[in-house]
Structure 1
Amino acid sequence: MALNLSSTMRPLSCWKSIFRSTRCVRQLTTATPPSASTIPPRIGISALAERSLSAGPKKIKTYPPPPSARVHFKEPISDVTAAQLTTLDPTGARTRMFARDNSDAAKVGDILLVRQRNGDPFAGVCLNIRRRGVDTGILLRNQLTRVGVEMWFKIYSPNVEGIEVVQRREKRARRARLYYMRQPKHDVGSVQNIVLQYQRRSAVLRSGGEVRGRDANSGKRKGKKR
């Protein structure tokens, strides 16, 4: 059975005219901008929204920052340190004893005696003075039973009852830390005899010089005998 294709097919000139018309329409649409009448109106926006958009962005109410404590406390760490020192050292004797600008202050190389509320007193050569405000401490070295012993003491500690300078160094130390005194050839050794002499001298000064030794009494007895 033969099909009749002449009725279904179109001539080539017909398709050329169709392509030419579509090309012209496309060029016209891209060359001319759309007019305001051809833009469809907005759908779903109320009159209030249109008014807010036309008025511009809404101003947000702002509040000033709260008053800062830096106006009254410009250096809080220094203020806290001063308050603590006033509580721990009301007279300021400990602070003056280890102050840099004090000529009579304790220095490294001096023999210091630390009296404690809970414990025996400890004396030794000052090897280091660490100035850290409230945490200021001193390092003392002594020999107990021929064994070198070093102890750190916080000068503002409530356990420290008093600090006394037993003997001052003859010459000024040229170092801030006398750690070389740990060596055997530079080690001072035990300072117990120096501390005992200092305590006896202090007792005589407190009593007013009325204490007499056995040598004085023995001299009088020897003078009576003939």
Structure 2
Amino acid sequence: MTVYEPLPKLRGGQLLMDYIREAQYKKLDPSGEKRKLIDRSNPERLRSGDIVSVFYKNQKPVNGTIIMVKRSGIASAILLRNKITGLGVEVNVPIFNPNVMRIDILRRPASYRPRNRHYYIRNSRLDVKEIKM
């Protein structure tokens, strides 16, 4: 009976899904800046109510107030709302999209509103004003 040596561990004992997730993060966010923006333990994270500017590679920057932050790993996204000539416009921005160069926080509110998702501000007296850069 022939006994073979065991195969070397390719992932260093790390779970497969954790290994794949880390490989995707290294590919899509090598500096780690985008991960810091959605990390709940970071006091400088993105929160609903912040006014941000999103810079793309081949487009003009997009400005708006964050009304929702979806934290789900690589599929994390923010929903921005702005008024352009009196019409409310919302843009869903995937954070780890390769075309998103950076996300700058322009202004933070003095006090944050309750709840994480501010869908209730649409078409109310609380709705955002036109934000210019």
Q: Tell me which interval the TM-score lies in, with the shorter structure as reference length.
A: 0.7 to 0.9
4+ residue segments displaced more than 6 Å: none
Aligned partner letter, 2:63: A
TM-score by length of 1: 0.52
Structure 1 match to 2:94 = 154
Coordinate RMSD, CA, aligned: 2.3
Structure 2 match to 1:137 = 77
Q: Is the 8 A contact 1:112 1:164 kept in 2?
A: yes
Which deviations, in whole Å up to 9, do the C-alpha atoms of 1:87-108 show, x marking residues without a partner? 1111111111221000111211
Gaps of 5+ in 2: 1-5
Gaps of 5+ in 1: 1-65, 196-226
Q: Displacement of 1:175 after TM fit? A: 0.5
The structure 1 residue matched to 2:106, chosen from 158, 161, 166, is 166
Q: Is the 8 A contact 2:81 2:128 kept in 1?
A: no
Which deviations, in whole Å up to 9, do the C-alpha atoms of 1:26-56 show, x marking residues without a partner? xxxxxxxxxxxxxxxxxxxxxxxxxxxxxxx
Provide the C-alpha distance between the structure 1 equivalents of 2:114 and 2:79, rounded to a whole number of angstroms: 17
Q: Which has the larger radius of gyration?
A: 1
Provide the C-alpha distance between the structure 2 equivalents of 1:131 and 1:78, rounded to a whole number of angstroms: 16
Count of aligned pairs: 131
Once the two structures are superposed, the pairs formed by residues 98-109 of structure 1 within 5 Å of their partners are 98-109=38-49
**Where is the strand percentage greater, Structure 1 or Structure 2?**
2
TM-score by length of 2: 0.86
Structure 2 match to 1:90 = 30
Relative contact order (alpha carbons < 8 A, sep ≥ 6): 1 or 2 greater? 2
